[in-house]
């Protein structure tokens, strides 16, 4: 994506431990922040961080800067690993697939060029504000799906809401967030 990240990721792919340290130093706060937000447990978050950077180290060669930033790549791994951990806590193996699929990092970051246009400090800040401004049940439904990997049925059960209501809350909430990004 950038000359800095591309060069650093290439060095990491070549086995340069200093490059790994550089990537760690640059992204650890966002990776750890996401892990803590989802797991709410320092020990688990630290374990996930270790898994994330181990996986990044192992798969650095596959990173393609044209398909998304290093940050998004690492955060995608982080989300997958944290949801895996939540699933193991719940010991329910049949959960929704979009959250913690191991193969996701093999694939191009779907944001790609769009991310370069949309992902700014301002847009993230606006999205964060908009998320918290959503009606509580809309926000919770989105977070349970996206950050905890629950299916609509599981969310309905958790929130004691009809399935159709959950579907509506998630859709309405996402559409509001979309307005924030396109405003």
Name residues contacting another protein, limited to 121-180 (CB under 8 A): 121-125, 127-128, 131, 142, 145-147, 149-153, 155, 166-168, 170-171, 174-175, 177-178
> Taking the complex as a whole, how short is the minimal distance between the CB of residue 158 and another protein, in angstroms?
12
Burial status of residue 160 (CB atoms within 10 A of its CB: 0-12, 13-18, 19 or more): exposed
Which residues 2-21 are close enough to bind another protein by CB under 8 A? 2-5, 12-15, 17, 20-21
Three-state SS letters, 63-126: CCHHHCCHHHHHHHHHHHHHHHHHHHHHCCCCCCCCCCCHHHHHCCCCCHHHHHHHCCHHHHHH
Q: How far apart are CA 182 and CA 170, in angstroms?
A: 18
| CB of 78 vs another protein, minimal distance in Å | 8
Minimum distance from CB of 142 to another protein (Å)? 6
Which residues in the 26-45 window bind another protein by CB under 8 A?
A: 26, 28-30, 32-34, 36-38, 42, 45
Phi and psi for 108 in degrees, rounded to 5?
A: -65, 145
Please select the residue that binds another protein; options are 40, 91, 106, 160, rule is CB under 8 A: 106
- State which of positions 62-91 bind another protein (CB under 8 A): 62, 66-67, 69-72, 75-76, 78-79, 84
Q: How far apart are the first and last CA of the chain?
A: 25
Contacting another protein (CB under 8 A), which of 90, 91, 92, 118?
118
Nearer to another protein, 137 or 181 (CB): 181
CB 49 to another protein: min, Å = 6
How far apart, in whole angstroms, are the C-alpha atoms of residue 77 and residue 52?
A: 6
The answer to whether 5 and 69 are in contact (CB under 8 A) is yes
User: Tokens representing 169?
Assistant: 């809350």
Q: Does 57 bind another protein (CB under 8 A)?
A: yes
């Amino acid at each position: 994506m950038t000359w800095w990240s591309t060069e650093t990721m290439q060095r990491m792919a070549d086995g340069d431990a200093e490059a790994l340290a550089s990537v760690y130093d640059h992204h650890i706060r966002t990776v750890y922040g996401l892990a803590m937000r989802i797991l709410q447990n320092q020990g688990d978050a630290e374990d996930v961080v270790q898994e994330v950077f181990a996986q990044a180290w192992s798969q650095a060669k596959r990173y393609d800067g044209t398909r998304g930033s290093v940050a998004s790549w690492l955060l995608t791994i982080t989300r997958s690993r944290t949801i895996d951990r939540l699933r193991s806590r719940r010991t329910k193996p049949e959960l929704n697939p979009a959250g913690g699929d191991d193969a996701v990092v093999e694939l191009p970051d779907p944001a790609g060029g769009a991310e370069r246009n949309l992902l700014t400090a301002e847009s993230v800040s606006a999205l964060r504000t908009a998320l918290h401004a959503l009606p509580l049940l809309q926000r919770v439904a989105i977070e349970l799906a996206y950050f905890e990997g629950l299916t609509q049925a599981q969310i309905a059960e958790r929130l004691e809401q009809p399935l159709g209501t959950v579907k509506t809350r998630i859709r309405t909430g996402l559409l509001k967030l979309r307005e924030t990004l396109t405003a």
